[in-house]
Amino acid sequence: MSVGTPRSAIVAGWATLAAVAALTSVPVPTASAAPRCNDIEIVFARGTDEPAGLGRVGKALVDTLRPMVKGQSVGAYAVNYPASWDFLQVAAGANDASKRVQSIAATCPDTKIVLGGYSQGAAVVDVVTTSPVAALAYTAPLPAAVVPHVAAVAVFGNPSARLGRPLTTLSPDFGARTADLCNTNDPVCSRGDDFDAHVRYPQSGLVKLAAQWITKHVQPRD
């Protein structure tokens, strides 16, 4: 999230985003090219106001994970959505992420898929993992047959957690595979008031913790 935005606008934006994320517990596109078949594919949605790409947290997660899964190839896909202050565009990100997951499952069935997101991107992942049917602007829900292809989920600074509804409890399908991580006193995902905590995930140790969580879920099975 932009650190230059007035705090009043940030707080108002978080309230809207939390409400959007909370709606994902109620059943409520851009086509992707066929992916190369990596052993592991991370589909990550960046936070608000970050430039197109994985974002700082997503890049840190990929860079941290790669040496932990030696011998396995790791690909990364940056969810294509505005990540703007128009939080209703979360659905656009959810559609793109879901379509990417479905494309990988269809063309690379042995690839272990990891869903991840930071801040507004975490809300994107909330939608994908808690809305099994099309509703509102989310038009590309994951078919039940695709769900087992997602090996792990990791979200950071998730707005729904601030409402006491972390993804670990919101999603019956993905909860047990999810690490919903909130930095100490991050006001986006907790009742804390440390604004700087929201932009310090790479330095907090939580990215490493998420990579360890993912490693446990993507290890080859004998």
List phi, psi (to 5°) of 130. -120, -5
Of 136, 179, 154, 152, the residue nearest 24 (C-alpha)? 136
- Residue 186 bears catalytic tag: yes
Choice among 49, 96, 98, 119 that is catalytic: 119
Task: Provide φ and ψ at 119, rounded to 5°.
Answer: 60, -115
CA-nearest of 55, 37, 38 to 46 is 55
Q: Is 149 an active-site residue?
A: no
Burial state string for 80-116 with b = 16 or more CB within 10 A and e = fewer than 16 = bbbbebebebbbbbbbbbbbbbbbbbeebeebbbbbb
Identified catalytic residue from 131, 171, 198, 217? 198
Cβ pair 182, 143 in contact under 8 A: no
d(CA 156, CA 178): 11
Q: In which order are the strands placed within the sheet that holds 74-78? A: 74-78, 40-45, 112-118, 150-156, 178-181
Choosing from 160, 186, 190, 217, the catalytic residue is 186
Question: Could you give the CA distance from residue 190 to residue 81 in angstroms, rounded to a whole number?
Answer: 25
Residue 193 known to be catalytic: no
- Which residues belong to the active site? 119, 186, 198
